[in-house]
């Protein structure tokens, strides 16, 4: 009996507020804070995912170009990299991937267009990627193919149906689905055949292409 009365006595001193739930005001404040955190966090997470995708695909592109250049030197031939239309034919859309092949066209000096008798060295299927890849020369014209000579230098590029034997710096530009300019990147191909990742040289938050202008998507 003594213990029971002691229990009741202790219960009498328990504050009422410990037994009640959330008030409507407290609930609204909690929901408001959660909404603010989501509003800030979701765009940051989206940007992070897109940035990682762009970096990964740029690395794959760089590896493919380095492979083509290496094959041209080691085999002492002309090797082309073209936008993929299928696993055996060149096209105009780099988002479908690319082909690397020994280019015997133009009397063995390469024409940027693959025929069935030209050895296929690599097929890269980029159709499942969510980024947007384009290739342009310093005048902004779209490039469908590039050709490395036996020294690993840039020999020519195919602009539309026109083969340019006066190569200049060109840009492979990669933009994410959101086309956020601050996340866009470029791989700049020098005349020597060396590929250089783009940089933000003027600290405006946007990387520059081969002409030094900010990348546009």
Span 7-24, pLDDT tens digits:
444 444 445 444 556 687
3-state secondary structure at position 132: strand
Whether 5 is in a domain gets the answer no
Q: Given this model, what pLDDT does residue 197 score?
A: 95
Q: Given this model, what pLDDT does residue 41 score?
A: 56
Question: Which residues form the domain of 100?
Answer: 25-197
Whether 203 is in a domain gets the answer no
**What distance in Å separates the CA atoms of residue 62 and residue 195, rounded to the nearest whole number?**
7
Where residue 67 sits, what CATH number does that domain have? 3.55.40.10
H/E stretch holding 134 reads strand 132-137
The percentage of residues in the chain with a pLDDT greater than 70, rounded to a whole number, is: 83
Whether 187 is in a domain gets the answer yes
Whether 207 is in a domain gets the answer no
* Nearest by Cα to 154 from 181, 172, 140: 172
The total number of structural domains that make up the chain: 1
Lookup: tokens for 167: 């190569």
């Amino acid at each position: 009996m003594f213990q029971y009365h002691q229990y009741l006595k202790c219960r009498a001193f328990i504050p009422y507020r410990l037994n009640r739930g959330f008030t409507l005001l407290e609930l609204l404040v909690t929901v408001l804070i959660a909404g603010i955190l989501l509003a800030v966090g979701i765009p940051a997470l989206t940007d992070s995912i897109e940035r990682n995708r762009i970096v990964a695909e740029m690395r794959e592109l760089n590896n493919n170009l380095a492979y083509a250049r290496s094959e041209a030197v080691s085999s002492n031939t002309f090797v082309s990299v073209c936008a993929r239309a299928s696993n055996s034919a060149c096209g105009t859309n780099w988002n479908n991937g690319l082909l690397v092949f020994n280019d015997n066209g133009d009397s063995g000096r390469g024409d940027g267009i693959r025929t069935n008798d030209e050895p296929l060295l690599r097929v890269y299927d980029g159709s499942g990627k969510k980024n947007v890849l384009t290739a342009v020369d310093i005048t902004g014209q779209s490039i469908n193919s590039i050709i490395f000579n036996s020294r690993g230098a840039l020999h020519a590029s195919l602009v539309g149906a026109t083969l340019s034997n006066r190569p200049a710096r060109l840009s492979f530009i990669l933009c994410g689905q959101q086309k956020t300019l601050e996340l866009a990147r470029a791989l700049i191909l020098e005349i020597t055949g060396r590929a250089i990742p783009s940089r933000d040289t003027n600290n405006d938050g946007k990387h520059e292409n081969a002409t030094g202008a900010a990348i546009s998507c």
